[in-house]
Chains A and B, each alone.
Chain A
């Protein structure tokens, strides 16, 4: 069984700041990790994924995430946020061979002008 923890329910930064959204997981086998974004009233949009290879993966709109096996983490980062990045961000994991995604509770990113 895999679990996902997003420790911050809310993160508030100013436009232009950098941001890191935290995600920790637990699972014993090979794992697929991904991040989704949900703007208010819309469905989830895929940002990026990691399965193997380079632990730093690039996504859309300047987002990147870094996989760390030792820390069981897959934190999402952006160097300079824009007001349009205001949304809820979900980390999701999928154990090797399975289809189901297990989601974290989400982190709401609030961008102040």
Chain B
């Protein structure tokens, strides 16, 4: 079936540095999402993105976070600067359509494990 890819699979970074997580969504999908999962806890919504704009973000999406998808390339999550509490697995997802009556399955990538030292 359709696949979402995430690069890299693991990233180790020193606190205070910048990190960019990359997501290659399903090719014809229009809606993009980031979720965060701290070890042993449930996956939590961070942000969704459509037509070049953030549509909705949660309280976990701090000011240090930003997302973009320049020219149809990777959908990225940038954290600058990183903090210890940003250590988690970050999952990207994409869907063909968004909310409302058209329920669209979100396809998930395998995740990027981010470790902030």
How many inter-chain residue pairs (CB < 8 Å) link A and B?
A: 58
Q: Which of B87-117 contact A (CB under 8 A)?
A: 91, 93, 95, 98-100, 103, 105-111
- Interface status of B14 (Cβ within 8 A of chain A): no
The digit string for A69-112, where 1 denotes a CB below 8 A from any CB of B, is 00000000000000000000010001011111111111000000
User: Which partner residue on chain B sits nearest A4 by CB separation?
Assistant: B42
* Contact residues on B (Cβ < 8 Å of other chain), bracket: 20 to 34
Q: Choose, from B43-51, B68-76, B78-86, the stretch at the interface.
A: B43-51
In this complex, how many residues of chain A approach chain B with their Cβ under 8 Å: the count is 25
B46 to chain A, nearest CB (A): 9
Contact status of A49 and B110, CB under 8 A, knowing A97-B99, A97-B100, A99-B98: no
User: Which partner residue on chain B sits nearest A9 by CB separation?
Assistant: B40
Given contacts A49-B103, A101-B33, 12 further A-B contacts (CB under 8 A): A34-B105, A42-B110, A43-B6, A44-B108, A46-B105, A100-B45, A100-B48, A100-B56, A102-B45, A103-B42, A103-B44, A105-B42
Residues of A participating in the B interface, judged by any CB pair closer than 8 Å? 4, 32, 34, 36, 41-46, 49, 51, 90, 94, 96-106
List 12 A-B pairs, Cβ < 8 Å: A43-B6, A43-B111, A96-B99, A97-B100, A99-B56, A99-B95, A100-B33, A100-B56, A101-B45, A101-B106, A103-B42, A105-B41
